[in-house]
């Protein structure tokens, strides 16, 4: 069963920041938050992940609340190519190196010119 | 480096027929995962290989699905006999632990299976 909830769709103006929220109120202490996105007809693409600290990479920033019950993915300057479905995922560690991804339904982000 | 590849990209078969999907992971990746998205539903985990061994197959729907990874390289997922509810997109992903990066999974483009 999904461990995350996201708004089904969002719009963003090109060049502005896109802030995508995610609730994961049942997340356990050793479970990471991952973000992937899927551009039409392609496979999911890794964006960023975090445990409890905020993270930033060349693609995005991830802000995780102190209680870890929610997070926000920030695309600082959205472009038309960022139009995609964004998935907030809980990664479950099951022992050994098994890292199962538990997916939600995602947010369909439309970046408008 | 080459990414994860999957074949075929699209398959249309009749109910009761057999289909075999193939996944070639990124070279050197020991971990290989299969996922599936049925129309309108979230992507669901099917199973996980470490090299040639099945580490976790808790997501496999039933015994009509058989996954193999002989030699620890490419993997196949066979559906026999196919049913209408098996229609969906089947994704393969691979990963390898790297210090400082963790176990990021890299996905293939998926195989769209349509059972009529």
Inter-residue contact B104 to B29 (CB < 8 Å)? no
Res B99 pLDDT > 70: no
Are B43 and A2 a contacting pair at CB < 8 A? no
CA distance A58 to A100: 25
Residue A97 contacts B, CB cutoff 8 Å: yes
Q: What is the SS3 assignment for B42?
A: coil
**Which residue among B50, B55, B109 places its CB closest to the CB of A43?**
B109
What pLDDT, on a 0 to 100 scale, did the predictor assign at position B1? 62
pLDDT confidence bin for B101, thresholds 50/70/90: low
Both tokens of residue B33?
A: 């995962």
Q: A–B: how many Cβ contacts below 8 A?
A: 59
Residues 6+ apart with CB under 8 A from A29: none
Residue A58 contacts B, CB cutoff 8 Å: no
Worst-scoring range by mean pLDDT, A54-68, A88-102, B23-37, B62-76?
A88-102
Res B40 pLDDT > 90: no
**Which residue among B35, B103, B104 places its CB closest to the CB of A97?**
B103
What pLDDT, on a 0 to 100 scale, did the predictor assign at position A2? 66
Residue of A nearest to B39 (CA): A105
Inter-residue contact B49 to B67 (CB < 8 Å)? yes
Cis check for the bond before A107: say yes or no (omega within 30 of 0).
Answer: no
Kindly list the averaged pLDDT for each block of 10 residues, start to end, along chain A of length 113.
Answer: 88 96 90 92 92 93 95 96 95 72 93 95
Are A98 and B110 a contacting pair at CB < 8 A? no
Q: What is the SS3 assignment for B9?
A: coil
Are B56 and A99 a contacting pair at CB < 8 A? no
Both tokens of residue B15?
A: 């109910």
Q: Which residues does chain B have within 8 Å of residue A87's beta carbon, measured at their own beta carbons?
A: 43
């Amino acid at each position: 069963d999904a461990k995350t909830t996201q708004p089904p769709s969002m719009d963003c103006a090109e060049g502005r920041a896109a802030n995508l929220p995610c609730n994961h109120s049942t997340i356990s202490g050793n479970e990471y938050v991952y973000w992937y996105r899927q551009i039409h007809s392609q496979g999911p693409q890794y964006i960023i992940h975090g445990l409890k600290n905020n993270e930033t990479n060349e693609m995005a920033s991830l802000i995780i609340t102190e209680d870890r019950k929610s997070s926000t993915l920030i695309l600082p300057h959205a472009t038309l190519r960022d139009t995609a479905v964004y998935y907030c995922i809980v990664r479950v560690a099951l022992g050994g190196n098994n890292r199962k991804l538990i997916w939600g339904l995602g947010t369909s982000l439309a970046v408008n010119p | 480096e080459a990414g994860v590849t999957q074949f075929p990209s699209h398959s249309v078969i009749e109910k009761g027929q057999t289909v075999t999907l193939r996944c070639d992971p990124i070279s050197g990746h020991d971990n290989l995962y299969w996922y599936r998205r049925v129309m309108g539903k979230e992507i669901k985990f099917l199973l996980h290989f470490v090299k040639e061994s099945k580490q976790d197959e808790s997501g496999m729907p039933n015994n009509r699905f058989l996954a193999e990874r002989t030699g620890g390289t490419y993997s196949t997922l066979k559906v026999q006999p196919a049913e209408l509810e098996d229609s969906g997109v089947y994704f393969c992903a691979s990963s390898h632990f790297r210090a400082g990066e963790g176990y990021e999974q890299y996905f293939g483009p998926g195989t769209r299976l349509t059972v009529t």
